[in-house]
Chain A
Amino acid sequence: DTEVTQTPKHLVMGMTNKKSLKCEQHMGHRAMYWYKQKAKKPPELMFVYSYEKLSINESVPSRFSPECPNSSLLNLHLHALQPEDSALYLCASSQVQTGRYEQYFGPGTRLTVT
């Protein structure tokens, strides 16, 4: 199974809401990633987890809070977002040592903040 699943597929939330994005993989990968992608732009790295520990935070605002409860699951908790946070949020996984191995991406969650 080489699939990364993400839920929900679409999410509309107000600026005062709290919501979570979920990501799951069963490939035994111990590195997992969150990316943000705006229209016509490349994916921008937000967070990297390696062996369930946060190893990279690309200076992401605290209204985004990642969590890795186990080696198969990755969550992104959202609170008090701004309209400019509307984007496609992509989860990916890979073997550890980022860059030496291919990353498998999920289909993304399309987030709209109203």
Chain B
Amino acid sequence: SQKIEQNSEALNIQEGKTATLTCNYTNYSPAYLQWYRQDPGRGPVFLLLIRENEKEKRKERLKVTFDTTLKQSLFHITASQPADSATYLCAPRQGGKLIFGQGTELSVKP
């Protein structure tokens, strides 16, 4: 069956370090994959979209990669700040809809 897996544990890092979040998917081949940030009690906020023919996309301190052979996307936040603490959701497109992974909770300590 089709499955999306993100880092199962919460990720705790020190301010200034690079956070790397993983999204693995199995049994399908999405043409698009999106990343969202969600703060407690609020709706998700779009961060980046990457297409299957793109290896990498950047936006300010954010970078996402998409490896269709490994069926994996990596999401990096460089020079992390306490304000980056949130849950990050990957969402590959499948069957004309977005399917959200369970999310990775990131905590950046000062």
Inter-chain contact A102/B41, CB cutoff 8 Å = no
A37 to B55, CA, bound (A): 31
CB-CB contacts of B15-38 with A at 8 A, as 1s and 0s? 000000000000000111010000
Specify which of B46, B96, B101 is in contact with A99 (CB 8 Å cutoff): B96
| A:30-44 near B, CB below 8 Å | 41-44
Query: Interface size of B by Cβ–Cβ distance < 8 Å?
Result: 22
| A:86-114 near B, CB below 8 Å | 88, 90, 92, 98-108, 110
Q: Taking A42-B103, A99-B32 as contacts, is the C-beta distance between A56 and B45 under 8 angstroms? A: no
Nearest CB of chain A from residue B103's CB, rounded to whole Å? 6
A45 to B102, CA, bound (A): 13
Q: Taking A45-B98, A108-B42 as contacts, is the C-beta distance between A99 and B93 under 8 angstroms? A: yes
Central interface residue in B31, B41, B96, B103, by most chain A CB within 10 Å: B96
Residues of B within 8 A of A102 (CB): 34, 46, 49
Inter-chain contact B46/A104, CB cutoff 8 Å = yes
B110 at the interface (CB under 8 A from A): no
B residues near A, CB below 8 A?
30-32, 34, 41-46, 49, 89, 93-94, 96-103
A residues near B, CB below 8 A?
4, 41-45, 48, 55-56, 88, 90, 92, 98-108, 110
